[in-house]
Amino acid sequence: MSLTEDLKARAEVSAKKYPENIRKVMSNGIQILKDTNMISKALKTGDLIPEITLPNAAHKNISVQEVLLDKKVILSFYRGSWCPYCNLELIALQRSLHEFEKYGATLIAISPETPDNSLTTSEKNNLSFEVLSDIDNKIAKEFNLAFSLPDDLIEVYKGFNIDLEKSNGNKNQQLPVSATYIIDQDGTIVYDFIKEDYKERADPKEIIKQLKNK
């Protein structure tokens, strides 16, 4: 199945699994993002990306601008290893690495998790691409992707044993909107996929299609 189909199947299972009050809180969290129209302010196609240097899972600083000297970059912002939709996305992206490279692009993922938690993510999903730690969502904020979780959603996550303070190494209770970009070698965004609904992600098939056309 495609990533889009996998995500849809996962969402259907979740809809049956959780009681209505839980589903309502989670749905309201998405609607709040839509109502604030926050992604209208996010960096999009045609914009230049900021300087990005972040630690990878081995605590080594990686410069996106240095990577761009050799090839295009597919930049994927995800929420964390605790998010099943993120893990489905990362696995699907891993499967498509060869195709990405074929069209002159390399993949870099970014999350607000600490390097140690990013290492767990990499190991758990057998990832061979860079997973960078954006502590305090500093880069996500420059992309205008960061948002604060509403209190009722924080409580729901705690009920799921999701500890964002432990995962992210802070008490901010902030996450990035899930987003995928293709960055040209001059630092210009040539493709963007940004959705308030965390259950929607850029399908690798679409990313490859875009790479072919760039």
Q: Tokens for 200? A: 């929607």
- Total structural domains within the chain: 1
Is pLDDT at 214 greater than 80 in this prediction?
no
The whole-number pLDDT of residue 209 equals 97
The whole-number pLDDT of residue 1 equals 83
Each residue's pLDDT tens digit, 110-153: 999 999 888 788 888 888 999 999 999 999 999 999 999 999 99
Question: Are the C-beta atoms of 110 and 78 separated by less than 8 Å?
Answer: yes
Q: Which domain holds residue 33?
A: 3-213
Q: Where are the alpha helices (H) located in 84-187, listed in sequence order?
A: 84-95, 97-102, 115-124, 138-142, 151-159, 164-168
Is pLDDT at 176 greater than 90 in this prediction?
yes
Q: What is the pTM of this model?
A: 0.95
Q: H or E segment at 76?
A: strand 72-77
Each residue's pLDDT tens digit, 15-31: 999 999 999 999 999 99
Identify the band that residue 80 occupies on the pLDDT scale cut at 50, 70 and 90: very high
Each residue's pLDDT tens digit, 46-59: 999 999 999 998 99
**Residue 52 φ then ψ, to 5°:** -125, 110
CATH number of the domain residue 209 falls in = 3.40.30.10
